[in-house]
Homo-oligomer: A and B are copies of this chain.
Amino acid sequence: MPGMQLHPDLAEIAPLVGTWRGSGRGTYPTIEPFEYTEEVVFAAPVLKPFLVYTQRTRHADTGEPLHTETGYLRTVEPGRVELVIAQPTGVAEVHAGTVSAGRIDLRSEAIALTPTAKEVVTVHRHLVVDGDVLRYRLEMGALGQAHQLHLEAELRRTD
């Protein structure tokens, strides 16, 4: 992004900045496996030590909007990051984790649920940026099921 200024504390997560598009697949014991397309944006609209994160997925076949979420990825000290995410399903996740050489590993510290939200207990998020490719895996313990793989996707940088 020419001309964009990044807070110096963002150096380790700066490779995430951009718009990413690709596809993924989801599985969980309570649902049928599904495939989706996805757009992810990490942006740095102000000179502060966080990135704004937005995400949306669509059903791979029908194009129907599926999930969306938004929040912030912040750096707290070298090698350490925190993630705060809001979801329209009534779920908020806060994570703490590590960043090293383009790899980010996050574990939920707390998950807050509205009265009507489905019960989500644990979420781990693993992201790897390799040049213009972003891969992630999301593991989840929810709805009485053991913590396990829920989503994996591969996206490419589009700007």
Contacts and interface: CB of A to CB of B under 8 A. Distances in A.
Interface of A: 46-48, 50, 52, 56, 65, 68, 70-72, 74, 76, 82-88, 90-96, 109-117
B114 A96 contact: yes
A86 B96 contact: no
A86 B88 contact: no
A68 B68 CA distance: 19
A91 B95 CA distance: 10
B110 A113 contact: yes
Given A70-B52, A114-B109, A90 B86 contact: no
Contacts of A72: 70, 86-88
A157 to B, nearest CB: 22
A46 to B, nearest CB: 4
13 contacts: A52-B70, A70-B72, A71-B86, A74-B90, A84-B86, A84-B91, A84-B112, A92-B92, A92-B93, A94-B117, A95-B114, A96-B115, A111-B112
